[in-house]
Structure 1
Amino acid sequence: MKMDNIEDDKSQVLDVTRQLTQLMIDMNTVVMNKFLDTHFTLTHITGYVQSKAEWFDEIESEQMKYYSFKEVKISVKIEEDKATFVGQNLLDARIWGTRNNWRLQQTMQLEKLNGKWIILKSVATTF
C-alpha cells in the first residue's frame, strides 16, 4: 500500500470518528447508523457491552445525552482494510443521570467495506 493511500485512509477514519461524535451530540441516530456495523457494540467505562439498538434507544430517550467534546489526543493505525482509532476527548455528557466532563478514551475498530470505513466496535475507558 502506498503512503499516500495510508494518509488518505487515516484522514477518512478521522473524519468518520469525528462525525460520529458530532452526530451523538446532535442525537442523529439515523446518520450514525450509516457509520456503524450491523453488529456494532459499545463497551462503556463500566465494562457494560451495549448493542447498537440499545445505545440508540438511550440516545433518543436522553438516558445518554452528549453536549460537547474537546479532542485531546488521537491516533490511527491502518493495516490493509482494518483500522484502529484511539481518541481521547473531554466529553461533556449526562450518562444515566450523571453529568460530567468525562476524560474518555475511545478505542474503535474499523473496517473498509466497499470503499467506506465502518465502525465495528468501540471500547470506552478513562484516561
Structure 2
Amino acid sequence: MSHVLSRRTVCLSTGLTAVATFVGCASSSLSSDEALYKNDQLLPSAPSEPYTGSDEQPIRTQERMFMAMMDADAESLRSTLTEDATLTHITGQIQTRDEWVQSVADKTMSYSNIEVVSAHVERSDNSAQLVARTRTTANINGSDGTWNLQLVSQIHPDGTHFTKTVASLWS
C-alpha cells in the first residue's frame, strides 16, 4: 500500500497535525505529536538483541525521518538515528550520521517529496530491519531528479532509532 509524504498538505485520518500527508497508510494511527517526537535521546547502535516489537513503531520512526529530510530539520533527523549510525548512498558513499544530517541541513541534499510505495519489517534471529521502497524527489549535490530508492534500515531494539541505512535503486 502506498502513502505520500509532502510538506505542503496535512491530512491524517486520526487528526494528527504534522507536515505530511499519509494516504492509505495503516501505520498512521498516532494519537498525538508527542508520539512522533518523544524519543529524541541518542542510543548506542550495537544492540545486544534485535527489535521484537510491532512493525508500527519503526514505520513511525521512518515517517519522522522522511518529514525531517523534507523540512531540512537537523535535530529531528538526528533524533531518528543512533549516534554512530551510517548512511550508504546509491553511489556507495558512506556518510556518518552527522555528515548526512549536515548535508540535509545545508541543503546539499534537499528532499522535496517522498512517496512510500511499500514498507515492511524483516526479522531474523539476530536482527530486524525496515525495508522501504520510495519514489524520492530531491536535489542531490545540484542534480535534480526522482529516484526509486530502496532503503534498508537496521532497527535499534527500541524501535525508535536506526543504526544503519543502505540505499539502492529499484525498478
What TM bracket, shorter-length normalisation? 0.7 to 0.9
Matched, 1:71 2:106: no
AA matched with 1:65: S
Distance between the aligned counterparts of 2:130 and 2:73, measured in 1? Answer: 21
- Where is the helix percentage greater, Structure 1 or Structure 2? 1
The equivalences for 1:21-60 within 5 A come to 21-60=66-105
Runs of 4+ in 1 over 3 A off after TM superposition: 78-82
Aligned length: 120
**Cα distance between partner residues in 1 of 2:113 and 2:52:** 27
Residues 1-127 of structure 1 mapped to structure 2, 5 A cutoff: 9-78=54-123, 82-113=127-158, 116-127=159-170
The alignment-based identity, stated in percent, is 25
Instruction: Kindly report the root-mean-square deviation, in angstroms, between the aligned alpha carbons of the 2 structures.
Output: 2.0
Cα deviation code 1:28-74 (max 9, x no counterpart)? 11012221101010000000000111111111211100001111122
Moved more, 22-31 or 81-90: 81-90
Separation (CA, whole Å) in 2 of partners of 1:64 and 1:22:
14
d(CA) in 1 for partners of 2:143, 2:87: 18
TM-score normalized by structure 2? Answer: 0.65
Q: 5+ unaligned residues in a row in structure 1: which ranges? A: 1-5
Alignment-mate amino acid for residue 61 of structure 1: D
Between Structure 1 and Structure 2, the one with more strand by share is 1
TM-score, scaled to structure 1 = 0.86
* CA distance in structure 2 between the partners assigned to 1:80 and 1:30 by the alignment: 32
Q: Is the 8 A contact 2:137 2:145 kept in 1?
A: yes
